[in-house]
Every structure is written in structure tokens, then in C-alpha cells.
Amino acid sequence: MSGRNPFRPHLMRIVQASEETPDVRTLRLEFSDTKAAPKLEWRAGQFGEFSVFGAGECVFTITNPPTRGGHIQCTFRQTGKVTSALRSLCVGQSVGFRGPYGNYFPMEDWRGRDLLFVGGGIGMAALHAPLQLALDRRADYGQILVLNGARTVADMVYKEEMKEWANTEGVKVVRTVDPGGETPDWDGEVGLIPDIFQRLNPKPNGSIVITCGPPIMLRFMLLALDKLAFAPEQVITTLENKMKCAIGQCGRCNVGRFFVCRDGPVLTAAQLRNLPADY
């Protein structure tokens, strides 16, 4: 975090903007103050507040892992005021970034385990940093499964990167779209993510499932995992409650005593079960 004021953002320049889908874009941001770049440390799973000057701030996961530092990457879906303003910016223009905030995926504790990444829609953004980190430290982990689902073929994020991931040894990539969302040349699966996951029938065997997506998908994924005998402690997700300060001061993001910006956003299914029902 820069300076004495915790709300003061770093000034960042957009150096690359890639269209993932008609309403999802990935940005690569570089620090205008090049001295700040090496000082910023973060862990996979943490997030930042990204600001568009004159429009406001919004929260996104930092999608590049610390193994690919020196810049900040995010993938965002255009949903409202700030994300529309961000979408209108071009390469060369500036935005603000403050962070990193929140807790992170305990990647060190997962050494030697198989990792199963299951993402729905823009939820894949939350899995991007831990997945890339696991790929960068390939020898540290067992088999890797990536199950990426979207409503339609056009809505699927990370299409190009998935080809690279699939070419890595010990990595299996499965893509699925909802029934009716396929195109005539679609060569992936057709079906809802929890159904495809059950069909893949992975064995719990000490593996870790990292899953993120819309609430309805998450609900059915947790049921599917239960049926497949995964313990709640081996299932990790992230919460996306609305936030304002992101530093545990305003009370906007809390679920009971759990402040998502401070105590989350990463938590196990076991912890999720203990939260009040309104998360």
C-alpha cells in the first residue's frame, strides 16, 4: 500500500487489454512509478480496489500470481457504473490500484496434492492466479484438473490460455457450456458444471478443489462434492460480497462477524457452512 493514506491508490497504466468475451476483458496494468512495482507483494487469492478517475472504485481479484510479478492483471465483467467506465478506457490510459487485500489460498500447504480447479463464468478469474502459480511450480503439485464452464461458447473466458494449460504435462482441461449454449463446431462438453464434474468422477484422495462461480453453481457444486465424498475441508471457494473500504473499517461486506474483505475472501466449504445463511 502506498503512502500514509490507506485509500491512496497507485497510479497504473493500461499496457494491454484483451477481450475474453463480449462483456469480459483482461487488463495488464503497469506501475507509473516504476520503483513501486518491485515493492508490491501479494499472494494468489488476494484482491485489489481498482479505480476509474471520476467514476469510482470496484473490487477485482488480482489474476496474476506473485511468480509473474512486476505488474498487476485483472479480468472483469462489465456489469454497472465503474466496470462500464473501465471498459471505455484504452491502452495508454491510467487507472488507480490499491491493495493487496484479504487472505489467500494456502498454496504451500497443498504441495504434493492433486488440484481441481472448477470455475463458472467470471468465477474463473478467481482461480487464475492459483492455477498459474501451480503451473509455474509444476513439480510441487500432483495432477491438475481445470473445469471451465460458461453459459455459451461466446461467454467462455481464457479460451487461448486453456490451450496452453492443456499442453502442460499432468494437466487436464475440460470445457463445458450450458445446454443450448453450444455452437455447431463446439468440441467441448455440454452440461451444467456440477453434472460434468460428477461425470468426471474424481476421487477425493487428499485432493483440493478450488471452485468459484455464481451462487447457484456453487450451491450445486457443494452438493456434488458431498455426493463424491469430498470433505468440506478440502473444498475452497471465494466470496464476492459488496465492498467499500476493503480494509475492515466500513462494515459493508460482513456476514455476521465475518468480514469478507478482512477474514476472506478465501474460505473452505467447512467455514462456509458455519456462516449465517445470508452470504
Ligand X SMILES: Cc1cc2nc3c(=O)[nH]c(=O)nc-3n(C[C@H](O)[C@H](O)[C@H](O)COP(=O)(O)OP(=O)(O)OC[C@H]3O[C@@H](n4cnc5c(N)ncnc54)[C@H](O)[C@@H]3O)c2cc1C
| Binding track over 210-249 against ligand FES, x by CB under 6 A | ---------------------------------xxxx-xx
Query: Binding partner of residue 251 among ligand FES, ligand X, none, CB under 5 to 8 Å per kind?
Result: ligand FES
Q: Is 117 in the site for ligand X (CB under 6 A)?
A: no
Q: Choose among 209, 261, 254: nearest CA to 59.
A: 261
In this complex, which beta carbon is closest to ligand X, that of residue 234 or of residue 237?
A: 237
In this complex, which beta carbon is closest to ligand X, that of residue 84 or of residue 168?
A: 84
Q: Is 125 in the site for ligand X (CB under 6 A)?
A: yes
Burial of 70 (0-12, 13-18, 19+ CB in 10 A): exposed
| Binding track over 67-106 against ligand X, x by CB under 6 A | -------xxxx-xxxxx-----------------------
Q: Is 58 in the site for ligand X (CB under 6 A)?
A: yes
- Minimum CB distance to ligand X, residue 207 (Å): 24
Q: Is 183 in the site for ligand FES (CB under 6 A)?
A: no
- Minimum CB distance to ligand FES, residue 251 (Å): 5
| Binding track over 182-221 against ligand X, x by CB under 6 A | ----------------------------------------
Interacting positions 250-279 with ligand FES (CB under 6 A): 250-253, 259, 261
Rounded to 10°, the helix 215-227/193-200 angle is: 20
| Binding track over 77-116 against ligand FES, x by CB under 6 A | ----------------------------------------
Q: Is 65 in the site for ligand X (CB under 6 A)?
A: no
* HEC string for the chain: CCCCCCCCCEEEEEEEEEEEECCEEEEEEEECCCCHHHHCCCCCCCEEEEEECCCEEEEEECCCCHHHCCCEEEEEECCCHHHHHHHCCCCCCEEEEEEEECCCCCHHHHCCCCEEEEEEHHHHHHHHHHHHHHHHCHHHCCCEEEEEEECCCCCCCCHHHHHHHHCCCCEEEEEEECCCCCCCCCCCEECCHHHHHHHHCCCCCCCEEEEECCHHHHHHHHHHHHHCCCCHHHEEEECCCCCCCCCCCCCCCEECCEEHHHHCCEEEHHHHHCCCCCC
Binding site for ligand FES (CB under 6 A): 243-246, 248-253, 259, 261
Binding site for ligand X (CB under 6 A): 47, 58-61, 74-77, 79-83, 122, 125, 240-243, 265
